[in-house]
Structure 1
Amino acid sequence: MSVQKPQIINSELPICPHNPNVSVSQIQGRKRPVPPPRVISSHLNPHESNGEIAVGKKATAPLLQSPGGVERARQTPGSRPSFIHFASLQRCLPTRWLARKMSTLDATRAELGLVVLYLNKAEARDKICRAIQYGSKFISNGQPGTAQDVDRSTTLARKVFRLLKWVNDLHGLISPPAKGTPLTLVLLGKSKNALLSTFLFLDQFVWLGRTGIYKNKERTDRIVRISLYCWMASSVCAGLVELGELKRLSKSMRKLSRELKGADKYENDQYKSKMKQSDERLLALVKAAMDVVVAVGLLQLSPKKITPRVTGAFGFVTSLISCYQQLPSRAPATKVKA
C-alpha cells in the first residue's frame, strides 16, 4: 500500500481562483485589524465623582450590581451622558427593605401589646360598656326602640363588672392619707371613698332586683335612688378634692418657677412633672362635674333641663375620659448621647 506524500504548496503561487493576484505569502503577512481603544471617562472612579459614572459616546460603564441582576450602562450615539448613582442603588437593596419591614412589625407588635394590656383591665372594659350605654341613651332620648334596649341590656351587663368592687374604696377609706395633705382634703377624700363604696355595695342589690332574683320591685327602685344619691355626693366630693389639689399644685409651681429664674422652667423635670399632674387633676375635675350632671339626669331632679339626651351626651363624654384615664402609660423616650 503506497503512502501519499503531502503536497508542497508554493507560497508564490496564487491560491484564490477568483483573484489570481493573491498568494499565500500575502495572506500570511496580513494582520487583523486592531479595534480602537475604549475611551473611558475619568469619572469612572466613584470616589472622585461623588458616586457617579459618566458614559460618553465611546465610553462603556463597568458592570453594576442591582437587585434585578447585572446591568451594563449603555449609551447610544448622539445621546447625552447618563449618570448612575450608587446611593440610589443601595436604597433598593433587599436588606434595607427587610430591615424597614421588621422595624414596622416590631412597632405594630408593641402597639398591640399595649392594646392587650388595656383590654385585660376589668375597669377598662367597664368604661367601654359605659360609653355604649350612654351613647345608646343619647340616641334613644328615652323613646322605646332598639337603642333603648341596648341601653338597658348594657346597664345590666355592667353591673357584673362591679361585683365586690366596693372593696377597693373600702381599702382606700381605711388607708392612711399622704403626708402633708390638709385635713379638709383628707376628710373630703374619705367621704368620697365611703360614699362610692356604699354606691357600689347597693348596686349589687340593684343587680339582684333587675335579674329577678330579688322579687320586691318597690324596694329595688328605692335602693336604686339611694345608690344614685351616694354616687352624686361622691362625685361632688371628688370635684372638691380636685379643686383643692389644683390649688396646692399651683402654689408649688409658682414657688418652683421663682427658684428657677435663671433657667428655663419647661426644661426642668420637676416642673414638667407638676404640669402633668395639674393636667390630670383638671381632667378629673371636669369629669367629676359632668358626673354630677349625669346623676341629676338619672334621678330626674330636673327633667325639663336635663333630658335623657343631655344625660346620654354627658355620660358618653365622661366615659371617654374614663377610657383615656385607663390607658397604660408609655415609657419615656431615652435620649442617646453621641
Structure 2
Amino acid sequence: MCTFAQVFAAQPAGIVQQENVPNMIAEVGKSVVNVQTDRSFRSRRWRPPDFFEQYFTDFFERKDSEPRTIECQGEGTGVIIDAGGLVLTNTHVISDAETIRIVLNDKTVLPASVIGKNEKEDLALLKIEGERTFSAIRFGDSNSVKPADDVYAIGTPYGYSQTVTKGIVSAVHREFKRGGKVIYDDVIQTDASINPGNSGGPLLNSNGEMIGMIYLGDWRGEGIGFAIPVKKIENMITELKSSQKAYERQANFKRRFGFAPVEEKGKDGEKQLVIAHVLSQSIADKSGLKIGDVLVKFQDQYVRGLEHLIEEALKVTPGKRVYLEISRQKRTFFTYIEVRS
C-alpha cells in the first residue's frame, strides 16, 4: 500500500528532475542558434516637382521622388538538427535576406546559406558553412504532448540570445486563424512567453527534447504562443533537403544577375515572372530594374517560367551582356545586364 506522499513524489520515467533542469537547458542551448540577416529595400522620398523636370522626365519613371536604399538587419532563432550543420528556422526569419549569419552558443559567427524553404508551413532549412562538428538537438514525440505538460522555450527575443522561458502546453491540435482564415492547423499552443525573435526556436519538453518549433505569439494577448509540432517538421525535412539543387540554381542566378524573379499569375490568368528582389548596388540595380517589374523577354526569347529563365540564363558566359524586355505599369522598356562570374 502506497502513502499519498509516495504517490505524489513518483516521477514518470525519463523526466528530468527539477534540480537538473538548468543542466538540461545548458546542454540543449548548444543546439540553439541566433539567425541574423541583412536586407535592403528601395524606398522613395517625395519632393516638390521641378518646372524643367516636367519636360525632361524620364519616359519610364516619374522624377518627383528620389530613390534611396534602406539597409536593415533582422534576427530570429534556429535549431541545429544534425552534426553537419543543418539548421531549421522559420521562413519569415530569413525572407528576402541577402546574407545570413549564424551565431553559435559560444558566440562564434559563421555564414549560412539556404538549402530549402516551405513558404506555406513557414519552414526553412539552412546549412552552416565551415568544416566542424555541431551539437544537434534531439527530437521528441509531439504526438504524446498533452495539455498542462511543462514546456520550455529558448530563443532570441529582441536580440537577447539564449533567453529561456517556461510554461505549459495550453492546447494541442489548435488552429491558428487570421481574419477568420485558417493559416496553420494542428499547432501546439503554449503560455510560455513568446516575443519577436523567438521565431524558429525550440519548444522543449521536460526531458530536453524538441517537441515543436516556435512560430509566433498572438499580439492580442499575453501568454498565447504557437509552435509547429516536430512530427510535422520531420515529415517535411526530406522535402526541404530535396529542394536544395533548385534553390542553389536560383541563388546562383540572383548572384550573377542581381535580381530574383518569382512566378505569379497576371490579370489574364497567364503565368508571368515578377521581379521580387533587386540586390542593392548590383548591376541590375544600376540598370534600373525595380521590384514589381515584369520580365517579358530574356535575350529576345519570351520567358515561359522561372525554370526556363534560369536554364537559359545559366548558359550565358560571364562578362557577356544580356538584354531584357521589361514591362512596368503598362509601359515597356529595354535594358541590359552584364553577367557576373
| Between structures 1 and 2, the one with greater strand share | 2
Name the TM-score class by shorter chain.
under 0.3
| Between structures 1 and 2, the one with greater helix share | 1
Tell me the TM-score normalised to structure 1 length.
0.19
Q: Which has the larger radius of gyration?
A: 1
Structure with the bigger RCO (C-alpha within 8 Å, sep 6+) is 1
Tell me the TM-score normalised to structure 2 length.
0.19
